[in-house]
A and B are shown apart, each in its own frame.
Chain A
Amino acid sequence: MNLAEGVQLVSFGILSAAVLLSALGVVLLKNVVYSAFLLGGSFISIAGLYFLLNADFVAAAQVLVYVGAINVLILFAIMLVNKDEEYAEVKGSSVRQAATALVCLGLFALLGTMVVSTPWAISSETAAGNDSIVTIGIHFFTDFLLPFELVSVLLLMALIGAIVLARREFIPEIRGVDGQDDALMLPERQREMVSSSSSEMK
Chain B
Amino acid sequence: MQLQSYLLVAAALFCIGVYGLVTSRNAVRVLMSIELMLNAVNLNLMAFSNYVDPKEIKGQVFTTFIIAIAAAEAAVGLAIVLAIYRNRDTVDMEQFNLLKW
Contact present for A32 and B26 (CB under 8 Å): yes
Q: How far is the CA of A63 from the CA of B46 in the complex (A)?
A: 15
9 A-B pairs whose Cβ atoms sit less than 8 Å apart in the complex? A12-B2, A54-B54, A88-B92, A104-B19, A115-B4, A122-B52, A132-B60, A165-B79, A189-B89
The verdict on B65 contacting chain A, using a C-beta distance below 8 Å, is yes
Q: How far is the CA of A88 from the CA of B55 in the complex (A)?
A: 54
- Tell me the residues in window 74-101 of chain B with beta carbons closer than 8 Å to chain A beta carbons: 74-76, 78-83, 85-92, 94
Which chain B residues border A74 with CB–CB below 8 Å? Answer: 28, 31-32, 35, 74, 78
Which chain A residues border B72 with CB–CB below 8 Å? Answer: 154-155, 157-158
Contact present for B43 and A77 (CB under 8 Å): no
- Tell me the residues in window 42-67 of chain B with beta carbons closer than 8 Å to chain A beta carbons: 42-43, 46-47, 49-58, 60-61, 63-65, 67
Chain B interface size range? 35 or more
Bits for A124-149, please: 1 = Cβ < 8 Å to B, else 0.
01111000100110011000100100
Closest residue to B82 on the A side, CB-wise?
A: A166
Which chain A residues border B2 with CB–CB below 8 Å? Answer: 12
Using a CB–CB cutoff of 8 Å, the interface residues on chain B facing chain A are 2-9, 11-20, 22-29, 31-33, 35-36, 39, 42-43, 46-47, 49-58, 60-61, 63-65, 67-76, 78-83, 85-92, 94
Contact present for A186 and B87 (CB under 8 Å): yes
Which chain B residues border A43 with CB–CB below 8 Å? Answer: 39
Chain B residues touching A, majority SS:
helix
Contact present for B81 and A81 (CB under 8 Å): yes
Q: How far is the CA of A36 from the CA of B7 in the complex (A)?
A: 25
Contact segment of A45-53, A171-179, A192-200: A45-53
Q: How far is the CA of A19 from the CA of B76 in the complex (A)?
A: 26
Which chain A residues border B23 with CB–CB below 8 Å? Answer: 27, 96-97, 100
Closest residue to B27 on the A side, CB-wise?
A: A81
Q: A50-B46, A120-B52 are in contact. Are A100 and B79 (CB under 8 A)?
A: no
Contact present for A77 and B81 (CB under 8 Å): yes
Which chain A residues border B15 with CB–CB below 8 Å? Answer: 104-105, 107-108, 111
Q: How far is the CA of A96 from the CA of B89 in the complex (A)?
A: 25
Closest residue to A59 on the B side, CB-wise?
A: B46
CB B52 to nearest CB in A, in angstroms, measures 6
Q: A115-B7, A189-B89 are in contact. Are A26 and B50 (CB under 8 A)?
A: no
Q: A42-B39, A100-B22 are in contact. Are A16 and B9 (CB under 8 A)?
A: yes
Known A123-B51, A166-B82, A189-B86; 5 more pairs at CB < 8 Å: A27-B20, A42-B36, A87-B25, A166-B79, A189-B89
